[in-house]
């Protein structure tokens, strides 16, 4: 080693000489400063693997749990080895003919390392490529027993789950806060086999028949020539498709509403979208729609925030989910069902239950809670878990079956098929994150990436050589029963039922269910998106669709585009609004909400410390923003500086007491982090507060902080000030429960 070090030293010296013409010190050269950090020379006791590192339990071909040794692939052994377990002396230098000579082909370690690296990437998902996942637990309430015999829904039954949230359109590296639908896919590792509920945060879909999925996705993805825009629907091909294909108008309206820009994955509803068929222990069936209801309520960003975040923190939703779980603010959703009688026509109150472009308003069929999901742990390895998880609407358990919804029927094909190229073969259910927790005893054999060491000689039925195993299970052994639904005699056709022709009544239902402020946001979203289109004909055609939804909506958007508002072309019965669709008006828990606190190190730090404790005790996350990082005094540490903080990260802002500016202070237009205390005059404080005001967030100030609000002329609804920090904290909690200061938004609709 000494010899090698000497040689390395020689080389460094040579380099140092070679570059000596440039007047720069060479790190590591003889005589230069030693490096600040030394690499450890002794192996340390490796950290214990996290509990979730083991992945779901592996079950061998005989149904017996496999040994732990088969699972341990984590990086916690003492010595570096090759993939075949050979201990390595050096992974930093390739084997060469002399220090300056060519690299030798025989260097297996070099080739293994580079080859493996070259193949590290797998194709991203064709849709829903960008996502974030988490582990958790689902606990059944037992209330679903009347409709489903699924054991995991039984009272108190705990089932491990993995949930993946996603955007639909963007690539893996795209921003989280774009206007888009969000995926909400849940894998329940039940003892009767894996059940996947592969839903979205929007209860309807663009198309009624899965055969059109490639069309809608091709239209919404970036243009094939320039591959722009990334993760956006604001472009010609998307609006071309939905304006021609008016069954997409309902889903589009949801995307243009605040639902298209969620505040957090934690504050989204989830929907199974399709109607499913459930079977209870008495053999009775019912039709069911699944809903996830977030405990924190349904909340959204405002459009400007979403746009700013896409640049300032493209990982906003991913980070929010991760941080909330790490901080113990475990996100929760109740699973609920709307239940309908399983009548032959599969229609409820005139709504075709097999049409995935329709909802059933909660006022007509209440969502009945059947269990609670809590996300408790972040993935240990993003690729292994979040990237490799493979969902499938066909992963069902006894008691839950599919219906003939033609969108669902096509999905039943697509989800296995896509994994063949994405995960490289048919054995993706053997990947740890996809492994069932129920014993697996299939007769699927061989294929790429086969990990099971199957025993026995007869993977076929019937057989006598393996004792006739495996046997069929009866329904009393927990077998899945296909519900023997009668299919009416019919001709083979490529047609939809007539009920599918109503493309507008429920879009209007959604529009009329919104409060004025939500309608205002919808008008702005359509105006923005269509304003980004180039083709006049597309804008005009979409305006006709809007005219068929609502006159006011159409004329406001037309005005924004500078086009005449067209006449309505389609008549239908006026729908009854569904107030349950609105996000405004309720008060929700505030756990895990982020509060930015502007602190002046020269101000009243005792009051700040006290307020911080109160906010933490209430489950909120206060982040101190100061002119400089590090220690602020009184035990307080800055988490953000004026250079790193931006309002969009916070749900509310508090301006804590600041020392008054010196009488001759000049507004520090170019103030930087680390400058002397400039809180009262720093324009970045003004920007923080003004943006929060514009985005209708709650604002509080106490002590001297009030003068900063006065200076900025910030007052009115949602602005709370007091001498005493305790008063403003109380007010702030109440304001945050409503999510936004709704009355502050201007409305003209």
Taking the least distance from each CB to ligand HDD, the nearer of 385 and 604 is 385
- Residue 188's nearest CA partner among 420, 381, 399, 359 is 399
Taking the least distance from each CB to ligand HDD, the nearer of 165 and 702 is 165
Cβ 377 to ligand HDD, closest distance in Å? 18
Cβ 165 to ligand HDD, closest distance in Å? 8
User: Which residues touch 652 (CB under 8 Å, ≥6 apart)?
Assistant: 593, 595, 596, 692, 697, 698, 699, 700, 732, 735, 736
Cβ 422 to ligand HDD, closest distance in Å? 6
414 sits near ligand HDD (criterion: CB under 6 A): yes
Work out which of 192, 200, 307, 519 binds ligand HDD, going by CB under 6 A: 200
Separation CA 710–CA 440 (nearest Å): 68
Please report, as residue ranges, which positions from 114 to 173 form the binding site for ligand HDD (by CB under 6 A): 125-128, 131, 164, 166
Separation CA 349–CA 528 (nearest Å): 36
Are 647 and 714 spatial neighbours (Cβ–Cβ below 8 Å)?
Answer: no
Catalytic site residue 128?
yes
Taking the least distance from each CB to ligand HDD, the nearer of 217 and 364 is 217
Cβ 185 to ligand HDD, closest distance in Å? 4
Taking the least distance from each CB to ligand HDD, the nearer of 210 and 622 is 210
Q: What sections of 590-720 are H helices per DSSP?
A: 605-617, 683-694, 705-712
Is the C-alpha dihedral spanning 172, 176, 179, 183 positive or negative? positive
Separation CA 502–CA 205 (nearest Å): 14
Q: Which two tokens stand for residue 630?
A: 């590090």
Give the bridge partners for 224, in sequence order: none
Work out which of 61, 185, 605, 729 binds ligand HDD, going by CB under 6 A: 185
Q: Which residue has the tokens 């000494």?
A: 2
Work out which of 198, 302, 321, 708 binds ligand HDD, going by CB under 6 A: 198
H or E segment at 184? Answer: strand 182-190
Cβ 365 to ligand HDD, closest distance in Å? 19
Taking the least distance from each CB to ligand HDD, the nearer of 210 and 379 is 210
> Which residue's beta carbon is nearest to the bound ligand HDD?
183
Work out which of 160, 170, 270, 356 binds ligand HDD, going by CB under 6 A: 356
Taking the least distance from each CB to ligand HDD, the nearer of 427 and 641 is 427
Work out which of 56, 140, 160, 183 binds ligand HDD, going by CB under 6 A: 183
Separation CA 220–CA 253 (nearest Å): 15
Cβ 415 to ligand HDD, closest distance in Å? 5
Residue 22 DSSP class: S
Using CA atoms of 125, 309, 327, 202 in order, give the dihedral in degrees to the nearest 10: -50
CA atoms within 13 A on the CB side of 232: 19
Count of positions (residues) in the chain: 749
Q: Which residue has the tokens 């996290």?
A: 50
Total residues at the site for ligand HDD (CB under 6 A)? 26
Work out the end-to-end distance of the chain between its first and last CA atoms, rounded to an integer number of angstroms.
Answer: 77
Which of the ranges 75-83, 113-121, 194-202, 326-334 carries the binding residues for ligand HDD, by CB under 6 A?
Answer: 194-202
Residue 278 DSSP class: E
SS3 assignment, position 347:
strand
How many Cβ atoms sit within 10 Å of the Cβ of residue 505?
A: 18
Work out which of 415, 480, 528, 588 binds ligand HDD, going by CB under 6 A: 415
Q: Which two tokens stand for residue 28?
A: 């590591």
Separation CA 75–CA 85 (nearest Å): 13
Please report, as residue ranges, which positions from 205 to 264 form the binding site for ligand HDD (by CB under 6 A): 205, 210, 213
Which of the ranges 223-231, 408-416, 559-567, 722-730 carries the binding residues for ligand HDD, by CB under 6 A?
Answer: 408-416
Cβ 211 to ligand HDD, closest distance in Å? 8
Cβ 347 to ligand HDD, closest distance in Å? 19
H or E segment at 734? Answer: helix 725-737
Which x/- pattern over 59-78 shows residues binding ligand HDD (rule: CB under 6 A)?
A: --------------------
Taking the least distance from each CB to ligand HDD, the nearer of 212 and 263 is 212
Give the bridge partners for 278, in sequence order: 286, 400
- Residue 622's nearest CA partner among 667, 665, 592 is 592
* Catalytic position from the list 76, 108, 116, 200: 200
- Rounded alpha-carbon distances, angstroms, from residue 124 to 170, 180, 231: 10, 18, 14
Which of the ranges 248-256, 411-419, 526-534, 658-666 carries the binding residues for ligand HDD, by CB under 6 A?
Answer: 411-419
Are 446 and 199 spatial neighbours (Cβ–Cβ below 8 Å)?
Answer: no
Taking the least distance from each CB to ligand HDD, the nearer of 320 and 405 is 405
Q: What angle do CA 73, 75, 77 make, to 5 degrees?
A: 95
Taking the least distance from each CB to ligand HDD, the nearer of 337 and 607 is 337
Work out which of 410, 458, 584, 673 binds ligand HDD, going by CB under 6 A: 410
Which of the ranges 74-82, 406-414, 448-456, 489-497 carries the binding residues for ligand HDD, by CB under 6 A?
Answer: 406-414
Taking the least distance from each CB to ligand HDD, the nearer of 411 and 556 is 411
Cβ 654 to ligand HDD, closest distance in Å? 37
Residue 611 DSSP class: H
Which of the ranges 41-49, 106-114, 367-375, 386-394 carries the binding residues for ligand HDD, by CB under 6 A?
Answer: 386-394
Binding residues (CB under 6 A) for ligand HDD: these are 125-128, 131, 164, 166, 183, 185, 198-200, 205, 210, 213, 273, 356, 389-391, 407, 410-411, 414-415, 418
Catalytic residue positions, numbered: 128, 200
């Amino acid at each position: 080693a000494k010899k090698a070090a000497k040689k390395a030293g020689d080389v460094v010296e040579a380099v140092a000489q070679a570059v000596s013409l440039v007047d720069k010190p060479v790190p590591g050269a003889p005589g230069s400063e030693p490096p600040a950090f030394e690499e450890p020379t002794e192996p340390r006791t490796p950290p214990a693997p996290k509990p979730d590192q083991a992945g779901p339990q592996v079950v061998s071909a005989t149904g017996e749990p496999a040994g732990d040794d088969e699972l341990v692939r984590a990086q916690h052994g003492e010595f570096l080895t090759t993939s075949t377990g050979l201990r390595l002396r050096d992974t930093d230098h390739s084997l060469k003919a002399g220090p300056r000579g060519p690299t030798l082909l025989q260097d297996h370690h070099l080739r293994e390392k580079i080859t493996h690296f070259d193949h590290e990437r797998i194709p991203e998902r064709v849709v829903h490529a960008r996502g974030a996942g988490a582990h958790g637990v689902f606990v059944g309430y037992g209330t679903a027993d009347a409709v489903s015999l699924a054991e995991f829904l039984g009272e108190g039954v705990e089932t491990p789950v993995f949930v993946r949230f996603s955007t639909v359109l963007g690539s893996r590296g795209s921003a989280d806060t774009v206007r888009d639908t969000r995926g909400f896919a849940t894998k329940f590792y039940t003892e009767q086999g894996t059940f996947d509920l592969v839903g979205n945060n929007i209860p309807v879909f663009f198309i009624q028949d899965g055969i059109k999925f490639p069309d809608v996705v091709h239209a919404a993805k970036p243009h094939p020539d320039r591959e722009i825009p990334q993760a956006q629907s604001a472009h010609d091909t998307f609006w071309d498709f939905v304006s021609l294909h008016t069954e997409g108008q309902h889903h589009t309206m949801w995307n243009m509403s605040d639902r298209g820009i969620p505040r957090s994955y934690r504050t989204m509803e989830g929907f199974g979208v399709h109607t499913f068929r459930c079977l209870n222990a008495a053999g009775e069936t019912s039709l069911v729609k699944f809903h996830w209801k977030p405990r924190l309520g349904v909340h959204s960003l405002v459009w400007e925030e979403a746009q700013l975040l896409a640049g300032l923190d493209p990982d906003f939703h991913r980070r929010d989910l991760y941080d909330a779980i790490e901080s113990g603010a475990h996100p929760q959703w109740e699973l609920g069902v709307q239940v309908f009688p399983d009548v032959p026509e599969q229609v409820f109150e005139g709504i075709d239950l097999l049409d995935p472009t329709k909802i059933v308003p909660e006022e007509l069929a209440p969502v009945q809670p059947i269990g609670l999901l809590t996300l408790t742990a972040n993935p240990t390895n993003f690729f292994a878990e979040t990237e490799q998880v493979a969902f499938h609407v066909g992963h069902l358990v006894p008691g839950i079956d599919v219906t003939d919804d033609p969108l669902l029927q096509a999905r039943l094909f697509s989800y296995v098929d896509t994994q063949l190229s994405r995960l490289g073969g048919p054995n993706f259910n053997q990947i740890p994150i996809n492994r069932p927790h129920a014993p697996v005893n299939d007769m699927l054999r061989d294929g790429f990436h086969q990990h099971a060491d199957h025993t026995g000689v007869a993977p076929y039925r019937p057989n006598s050589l393996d004792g006739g195993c495996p046997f069929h299970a009866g329904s009393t052994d927990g077998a899945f029963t296909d519900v023997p639904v009668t299919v009416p005699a019919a001709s083979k056709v490529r047609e939809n039922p007539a009920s599918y022709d109503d493309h507008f009544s429920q879009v209007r239902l959604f529009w009329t269910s919104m409060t004025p402020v939500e309608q205002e946001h919808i008008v702005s979203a359509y105006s923005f998106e269509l304003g980004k289109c180039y083709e006049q004909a597309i804008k005009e055609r979409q305006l006709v669709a809007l005219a068929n939804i609502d006159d006011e909506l159409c004329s406001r958007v037309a005005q924004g585009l500078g086009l005449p508002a067209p006449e309505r072309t389609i008549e239908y019965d006026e729908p009854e609004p569904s107030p349950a669709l609105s996000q405004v008006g309720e008060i929700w828990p505030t756990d895990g909400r982020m509060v930015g606190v502007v602190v002046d190190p020269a101000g009243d730090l005792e009051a700040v410390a006290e307020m911080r404790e109160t906010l933490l005790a209430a489950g909120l996350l206060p982040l101190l923003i100061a002119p400089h990082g590090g220690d602020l005094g009184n035990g307080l540490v800055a988490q953000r500086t004026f250079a790193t903080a931006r309002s969009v990260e916070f749900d509310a802002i508090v301006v804590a007491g600041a020392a008054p500016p010196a009488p001759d202070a000049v507004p520090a237009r170019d103030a930087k982090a680390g400058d002397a205390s400039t809180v009262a005059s720093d324009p970045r404080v003004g920007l923080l507060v003004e943006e929060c005001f514009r985005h209708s967030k709650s604002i509080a100030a106490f002590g001297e902080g009030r003068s900063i609000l006065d200076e900025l002329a910030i007052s009115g609804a949602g602005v709370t000030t007091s001498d005493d920090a305790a008063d403003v904290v109380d007010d702030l909690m109440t304001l945050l429960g409503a999510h936004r200061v709704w009355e502050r938004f201007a409305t003209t609709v």
